[in-house]
Structure 1
């Protein structure tokens, strides 16, 4: 699939610019194994880059005044002048790139002209972070070609800033960090506040990670997310009023939570209970993965889905159905909704020999229940953004 993507993107470059690309770059999407909604509560997340990519075919041009993009998947082009101050435009996909350029321009770095064609195997709108791959891939390219000497951490933060300022999405840092820092066969345990991180081996021999895309997105995602933030903030306020010496939310104990239960109310109590449990599950999942304990990892995934559905209340009928039916199948160790909620994908840990039959069964059950053709994404944990050269990757 990767070779075909590179071939198709190179052909798109030749067609758009009537010349050969000089360099090829690959920027991956990501999954989050476990750790949902804890990124704004001093918690850890456990993401990994995956083997679905945006491919960029790139050529530095003699005309140092302009950058031109050709988006193969949209069959659209966009050009801007590198000496001018940029502002958002009507072409949404271009704003991810302009935001990156703007952030680098504001730091005083000099950038010349480029021609870029890009194409993707990351399904858009499925929660696999095609936007972060686009942003950080472009930042990585600029850093490499114009010798900007930016660190990997700086590239991730530039991608996040682009999304905040030019796209208007107040995203966390996990997606961008995963795209830049991913390593094959490893997950990243990331503190989204400090950006401290460590790698754990993903020992999953004999098991596959398969995503089931519900193909639904309920309109209350934004309002639901904001309401959950308010519930959590109320709970935190009650906890810190009672225990002001505690430094970070993750350091509160369940005993402290129980003591503050009356002050915060039942809704905030449920939200905070889920978060404290999930923060601990992330650490346990990292350990389980590194030890190759797939059964325990599956148990943790199941607990997370139950918490997201019942305590944090961000699941939906379609995802609950999908997870419940999947867990009844032979060879399934764990299943949970992945992402912010109210739609999107489930992530499923399945024994290799049972993957095909589980896919066939759940696809049929889901179609019968909701009239929707579920999409399937088989993923492997892969390297972060890299340059492709002569059948080898330069990281």
Structure 2
């Protein structure tokens, strides 16, 4: 953490020739279980993790200009806060402009800022660096200019940014986890009402370890929006047939079977996966709270099978990685994590055998695909906060 903060602070000095007034940390997230259900009235079980985007921030001398320096891209951007913002060619900028646009449209008044940022969240690995960027900036604006936005407001602003300026029709989970995360706790989030509750992450002598396939993806090009279209087609016909049902999660498997021929095999498979996954989330929350790591692992593995064969968002590399991991000793469960088409697997491994599993899977993956697998050992952490040397302001 200190290394990232010092690195970002130095980047600020080089970019703006002064010292930052504030340091903010916005975490990435893991999702224990509940993939692709956050836009289908489902439950998800995410948690913030100890991988962050660090923002070094100062009010600008020019009150009409916001300036950014993205250290990891070695790229800069500035804009006039009084002008109407529109998407630009620099993709990373659009996440920030979308946030500013949402705040601007709400009528809130802000001033100029100078911001340098850097990250330990690996991009394209399913750990939601985009949500950390969006919500981190929203948190900064709220904190510095006393906008009186709630945590829920910040999450929704981040989501709106991605919808309007980036073109990804994402659910709310990633942004919610980045804002609402708590150390050692997972969030069971109702993606329909945004009601949520916390569960202790009782993993006993097991750890959550991420294996990065190094197959990079973006939701814009990975088929994410195509999957949403498949699901929407299934939902439309389900509600035409059963208009008394209020939420997608309340459709039964028998109802889905009755419209199978009408909606077509592909939308049927997508909806079948989602209904199964929503039920798995509820079971997983109970397993976590009771410390039933074995059953939690079984649920993770079931999810991978569904994502691979029903929702079809896995890939050859991730299927190989998960299959080989499950053959290892003291592995309770494994699955692809995130939107799919690459990124990471999340693995539940007994502490005493983590090093051996990493060594074995790394070697197998290198042999079969000639790719050096990356490994992220993660801990469940707090949501976005302002960092100070002797205190944390949330």
Range of TM-score over shorter length:
over 0.9
Following TM superposition, by how much is the alpha carbon of 1:341 offset from its aligned partner in structure 2, in angstroms? 1.9
Q: How many residues align?
A: 394
- Alignment CA distance shift 1:311-1:11 (3 Å): same
Q: Which runs of 5+ in 1 are unaligned?
A: none
- Indicate yes or no: 2:22 matched with 1:23: yes
- Alignment CA distance shift 1:135-1:223 (3 Å): closer
Following TM superposition, by how much is the alpha carbon of 1:228 offset from its aligned partner in structure 2, in angstroms? 3.4
Asked if structure 1 preserves the Cα contact closer than 8 Å seen for 2:203 and 2:291, the reply is: yes
Q: How does 1:167-178 map to 2 (within 5 A)?
A: 167-178=166-177
- Alignment CA distance shift 1:167-1:260 (3 Å): closer
The 3-state SS of whatever aligns with 2:244 is: coil
- Indicate yes or no: 2:347 matched with 1:348: yes
The 3-state SS of whatever aligns with 1:6 is: helix
1:115 matched residue in structure 2: 114
The 3-state SS of whatever aligns with 1:9 is: helix
1:183 matched residue in structure 2: 182
Give the Cα–Cα distance (whole angstroms) in 2 for the partners of residues 42 and 21 of structure 1. 41
1:390 matched residue in structure 2: 389
2:143 matched residue in structure 1: 144
Q: Normalising by structure 1, what TM-score?
A: 0.94
Following TM superposition, by how much is the alpha carbon of 1:85 offset from its aligned partner in structure 2, in angstroms? 2.1
Give the Cα–Cα distance (whole angstroms) in 2 for the partners of residues 87 and 311 of structure 1. 37
Following TM superposition, by how much is the alpha carbon of 1:15 offset from its aligned partner in structure 2, in angstroms? 2.1
- Alignment CA distance shift 1:370-1:20 (3 Å): same
Give the Cα–Cα distance (whole angstroms) in 1 for the partners of residues 338 and 281 of structure 2. 15
- Indicate yes or no: 2:308 matched with 1:309: yes
Give deviations 1:13-51, integer Å, cap 9, x for gaps. 122222221111100001111111212221111111110
Give the Cα–Cα distance (whole angstroms) in 2 for the partners of residues 378 and 139 of structure 1. 28
Following TM superposition, by how much is the alpha carbon of 1:208 offset from its aligned partner in structure 2, in angstroms? 1.0
The 3-state SS of whatever aligns with 2:192 is: coil
Give the Cα–Cα distance (whole angstroms) in 2 for the partners of residues 55 and 238 of structure 1. 45
Asked if structure 1 preserves the Cα contact closer than 8 Å seen for 2:211 and 2:375, the reply is: yes
2:248 matched residue in structure 1: 249
Asked if structure 2 preserves the Cα contact closer than 8 Å seen for 1:221 and 1:341, the reply is: no
The 3-state SS of whatever aligns with 1:56 is: strand
Give the Cα–Cα distance (whole angstroms) in 2 for the partners of residues 136 and 195 of structure 1. 16
1:269 matched residue in structure 2: 268
The 3-state SS of whatever aligns with 1:204 is: coil
The answer to which of 259-268 and 75-84 deviates more is 259-268
Give the Cα–Cα distance (whole angstroms) in 2 for the partners of residues 232 and 158 of structure 1. 24
Following TM superposition, by how much is the alpha carbon of 1:237 offset from its aligned partner in structure 2, in angstroms? 4.0
Give the Cα–Cα distance (whole angstroms) in 2 for the partners of residues 118 and 218 of structure 1. 22
Asked if structure 2 preserves the Cα contact closer than 8 Å seen for 1:214 and 1:319, the reply is: yes
Give the Cα–Cα distance (whole angstroms) in 1 for the partners of residues 28 and 43 of structure 2. 19
Give the Cα–Cα distance (whole angstroms) in 2 for the partners of residues 91 and 264 of structure 1. 39
Q: Normalising by structure 2, what TM-score?
A: 0.94
- Alignment CA distance shift 1:12-1:233 (3 Å): closer
1:287 matched residue in structure 2: 286
Please tell me the root mean square deviation across aligned C-alpha atoms, in Å. Answer: 1.9
2:215 matched residue in structure 1: 216
Give the Cα–Cα distance (whole angstroms) in 1 for the partners of residues 66 and 222 of structure 2. 37
Give deviations 1:73-131, integer Å, cap 9, x for gaps. 12222222222222222322222212211211121111112211111100111111111
Give the Cα–Cα distance (whole angstroms) in 1 for the partners of residues 341 and 225 of structure 2. 13
Give the Cα–Cα distance (whole angstroms) in 2 for the partners of residues 220 and 4 of structure 1. 30
2:357 matched residue in structure 1: 358
1:297 matched residue in structure 2: 296
- Alignment CA distance shift 1:296-1:138 (3 Å): same
